[in-house]
Amino acid sequence: MFLVSSGYTMVIPFLPLYLEEMGVPYNEISLWTGLVFSSCFLVAAVMGPVWGKLADTGGKKKMAIRAAVLLGFSYLFCGLCQDQYQLMAARAFQGFANGFVAAAMAIISDSADPKKLGGTLGMAQTSLVVGGICGPLMGGALSHVAGMKNTFYLSALFLWIVAAAVIFLVKEKKEGKVERPVEKTSITADLKYAFGNGHVRGLLLITFFLQTTLLMIQPVTALYVSDLMNHRGNIELVSGIIMSSGGVAGALTTTLWGKFGQSKGYYKAITVTLSLAGCITILQSLPDSVIGFGLCQFLAGCFVIGANPSINAALVKYTPSDFRGRVFGLSNTAQQFGNMWGPLLSSAISMAMGIWEVYAAAGLIQLALGIIVYGSRVRKSEEGRVRREE
């Protein structure tokens, strides 16, 4: 999962520069960046339930290998592109190939000790976060030395190493000598089942809105830092350090939040992390110095990333084992739709009002999610416990 995440972030943050290298006019780069990003997210969102269903019926390990091999080819195709149209097609194929993380999470959830599920999923999330931190550093250094195309080729190599590792090192857990065959259902029936389950429906909505807020902030962070620095100095370096600080904070605390969830309750952990992340994200709209903004970014990272292991563990808790590939596929679809809507909402808010309002809006959404989870799950659970004791 570390190699998958680092391979992705080695190249994706630099797509605008790659488009410029291809000869796309400067005034069209923003348009093509949006198209290139969205083409992947849209296809990935559509394919998420399909790959999840195949993971349950055909084997989660097979789906992990399939995703790793095809993602490797998608990076190879990106490196071979000659113009923006080919790159958009290659990114669409990347969305089609997507699904490794969902399959890996399903394998981990089946293999982990139920008593240590929160901490185990927290460790998996930490691997993704650390890969996300290391990827841009490796990609920036390699593209400077050897060019962008070779960065894509190295990412392809990473994914094929991952495929080989899964083939030889990963074994799916067997439930017993006689396994209950997975019921063959349509994707429509799977969706009805998932959204008919109140826990799963709520967790998928939380995943969507949380990912939306993260992608609202990401595109405007460098612009906000530039404003705070009065458009002077090494803005790119300072922006990179500030964005990485949130990832570092998440890597340091995610496993701890996972353990907190398994001991105190997953919904309680989701409530605490989202509420505190929302408050700090709102505070990010207030600092008038880059140091204050960077400190808020670090603190927000301590909480916002920590919500994921508890969300994933709760999905595992409230779904049967033979539906977990599908539920993580649906979770991936929710994330991809959040990836699509976040930048669009960010652009609309920043154009209508300003950049700091984007942080205020994202923080309010996160805080509202925390309050809703508390009112709908944590408080009701506590009241039910009191009644039973009485």
pLDDT the model gives residue 275: 94
The number of distinct structural domains making up the chain is: 2
Instruction: Give 324's Cβ-side CA count (13 Å radius).
Output: 23
Last-in-domain residue among 116, 143, 170: 170
Tokens of 328: 């993580």
pLDDT the model gives residue 222: 67
pLDDT the model gives residue 179: 47
pLDDT the model gives residue 33: 72
Nearest to 355 by CA among 244, 239, 264: 239
Whether 90 maps to a domain, the answer reads: yes
Torsion of CA 270, 338, 236, 138, to 10 degrees: 80
Whether 145 and 226 map to the same domain: the answer is: no
pLDDT the model gives residue 325: 76
pLDDT the model gives residue 178: 42
Whether 25 maps to a domain, the answer reads: yes
Whether 50 and 83 map to the same domain: the answer is: yes
Whether 248 and 390 map to the same domain: the answer is: yes
Q: Report the CATH number at residue 80.
A: 1.20.1250.20
Whether 159 and 195 map to the same domain: the answer is: no
Whether 181 maps to a domain, the answer reads: no
Whether 197 and 163 map to the same domain: the answer is: no
**What is the spatial distance between Cα 36 and Cα 20, in angstroms, rounded to a whole number?**
13
Whether 364 and 224 map to the same domain: the answer is: yes
Whether 217 and 79 map to the same domain: the answer is: no
Whether 204 and 348 map to the same domain: the answer is: yes
Whether 183 maps to a domain, the answer reads: no
Whether 152 and 299 map to the same domain: the answer is: no
pLDDT the model gives residue 372: 93
Tell me which residue has tokens 């990076």: 75
Whether 150 and 292 map to the same domain: the answer is: no
| Positions of the chain with pLDDT under 70 | 13, 30, 173-186, 219, 222-223, 234-237, 239-240, 381-390
State which residues form the domain around 85: 1-170
Q: CA triplet 35, 38, 40: central angle to 5 degrees?
A: 115
Q: Are 122 and 256 in contact (CB under 8 A)?
A: yes
pLDDT the model gives residue 208: 93
Whether 68 and 211 map to the same domain: the answer is: no
Whether 175 maps to a domain, the answer reads: no
Q: Are 32 and 58 in contact (CB under 8 A)?
A: no
